[in-house]
């Protein structure tokens, strides 16, 4: 039996054509040997040069300028995995310089980028419509910047790695304003609050709360005051903290004073002389902590010229508790809700 020679079909595998070389000059289409890349565009000396489109097997692509085989200049890059698209300047295949990033999940960024990250000054709108304009570093809000939140609050001040830190001013949608120091996204350090209720506080803040907040109002002076109708009178009060010290950092609290005549239900045959209440009077009786009700009586009166009040001897301090949290500005996304802009900014840009 004759041995199979070199020239017989059984001695050779399937025939392979030599790989196709990329075009030299002009316009051409080239599919790379690994079949993952396909280029359609201009060539110069066997390199991608000029305008072209580089397509990836997963559906991603780059379309724009090429220089000596490299992605360089103005172009548009789309990532099939994330659905995001960047249009702007490129250097050696990376977004570098100035451009616009459109996010599939919603929102966009326009500004400076470096090595594919937000770096420098930019304008960011997140998926909820919240807007940040200012400085970026390493893809995060960092440095001076302004933020408009979804609930209408506005912040203008310093940022450190996506958090408000340093000095800043917060103007709440309800009209309240805080100006002072921040740390890790909350009021911290020396600052002033002008609350929409009229209360103001200037002093130290700890973890978002005033360090010397008043918790009760104490009425100074005698327990009983005799006041003639039509005469002016005054009441002195103090704001106290939990431990009894005077809250000197706060002002603007309002003390509401009500007056009334003790309501007594008399029998039909009573000989006691007591004024009769008009049956048509629909005013609600005032509940008192003394075990009886009062009929509302006006504190102010047009009468004048009557002698002033005289205080009864002896005295006591009336202690009126204050609702906690009057100075705490409820800011929604502002304090730690980071699926707002912080959640978006914390992820990689590309």
Q: Where are the domains of the chain?
A: 21-211+335-345
Give the pLDDT score at 327: 44
Mean pLDDT value across residues 231-255? 81
Structure token digits, residue 70: 């490299």
CA distance 82 to 80: 6
- Provide the 10 A C-beta neighbour count for residue 350: 16
Q: 55 versus 308: which is more confidently predicted?
A: 55
Cβ atoms of 214 and 236 closer than 8 Å: no
The confidence score (pLDDT) of residue 84 equals: 97
CA distance 206 to 19: 70
Strand partners, 182: 166, 187
In DSSP terms, which residues pair with 240 in a beta bridge? 216, 246
Return the pLDDT at 97.
97
CATH 3.40.1280.10 describes domain 21-211+335-345: no
What value, to the nearest 5°, has the Cα angle with vertex 195 and ends 189 and 197? 150
Tokens of 247: 């809250």
Mean pLDDT over residues 95-116, rounded?
Answer: 97
| Residue 308 banded pLDDT, cuts 50, 70, 90 | very low
Q: Is the dihedral of CA 103, 105, 106, 107 positive or negative?
A: negative
Could you tell me which of 200, 279, 281, 207 has the C-alpha nearest to residue 247? 200
pLDDT for the residue 344: 29
Is pLDDT larger for residue 344 or for residue 50?
A: 50
> Around 224, how many Cα atoms within 13 Å sit in the side-chain half-sphere?
4
Q: Is 274 helix (H, G, I), strand (E, B) or coil?
A: coil
Can you tell me the mean pLDDT for 172-180?
97
Give residue-wise pLDDT tens across range 118-137. Answer: 999 999 999 999 999 999 99
Mean pLDDT, all residues of the chain: 80
- Res 80 pLDDT > 70: yes
Task: Identify which has the larger pLDDT, 197 or 6.
Answer: 197
Q: Averaged over 220-240, what is the pLDDT?
A: 80
Contact yes or no for 23/46 (Cβ under 8 A): yes
Q: Where are the beta strands (DSSP E) in 149-196?
A: 154-160, 163-171, 177-183, 186-194
- β-pairing verdict for 310-311 and 37-44: unpaired
Q: Is 50 helix (H, G, I), strand (E, B) or coil?
A: strand
Find out whether 24 and 42 touch, Cβ atoms under 8 Å.
no
CA distance 172 to 177: 6
Residue with tokens 């995001």: 84
Geometric angle at alpha carbon 77, from 74 and 82, rounded to 5°? 155
Number of alpha carbons in the 13 Å side-chain half-sphere of residue 229: 7
- The pLDDT assigned to 279 comes to 54
CB 77 within 8 A of CB 86: yes
């Amino acid at each position: 039996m004759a041995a199979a020679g070199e020239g017989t079909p059984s001695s050779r595998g399937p025939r392979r054509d030599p790989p196709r070389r990329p075009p030299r000059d002009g316009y051409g289409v080239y599919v790379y040997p690994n079949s993952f890349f396909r280029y359609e565009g201009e060539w110069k000396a066997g390199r991608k040069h000029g305008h072209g489109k580089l397509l990836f097997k997963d559906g991603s692509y780059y379309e724009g300028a090429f220089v000596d085989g490299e992605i360089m200049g103005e172009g548009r890059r789309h990532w099939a995995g994330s659905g995001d698209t960047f249009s702007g300047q490129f250097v050696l295949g990376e977004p570098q310089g100035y451009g616009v990033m459109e996010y599939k999940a919603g929102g966009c960024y326009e500004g400076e980028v470096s090595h594919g990250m937000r770096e420098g000054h930019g304008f960011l709108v997140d998926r909820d419509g919240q807007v940040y304009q200012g400085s970026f570093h390493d893809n995060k809000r960092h440095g001076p910047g302004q933020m408009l939140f979804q609930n209408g609050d506005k912040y203008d001040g310093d940022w450190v790695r996506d958090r408000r830190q340093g000095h800043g001013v917060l103007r709440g949608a309800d009209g309240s304003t805080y100006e002072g120091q921040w740390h890790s996204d909350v009021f911290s350090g020396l600052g002033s609050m002008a609350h929409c209720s009229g209360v103001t506080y200037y002093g130290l803040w700890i973890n978002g709360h005033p360090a010397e907040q008043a918790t009760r109002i104490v009425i100074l002076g005698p327990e009983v005051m005799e006041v003639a109708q039509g005469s002016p009178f005054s009441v002195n009060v103090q704001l106290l903290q939990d431990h009894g010290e005077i809250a000197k950092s706060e002002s603007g609290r309002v003390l509401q004073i009500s007056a009334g005549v003790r309501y007594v239900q008399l029998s039909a045959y009573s000989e006691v002389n007591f004024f009769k209440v008009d049956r048509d009077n629909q005013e609600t009786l005032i509940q008192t902590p003394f075990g009886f009700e009062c009929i509302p009586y006006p504190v102010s009166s047009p009468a004048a010229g009557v002698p002033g009040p005289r205080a009864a001897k002896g005295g006591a301090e009336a202690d009126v508790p204050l609702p906690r949290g009057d100075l705490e500005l409820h800011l929604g996304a502002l304090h730690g809700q980071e699926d707002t802009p912080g959640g978006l900014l914390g992820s990689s840009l590309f």
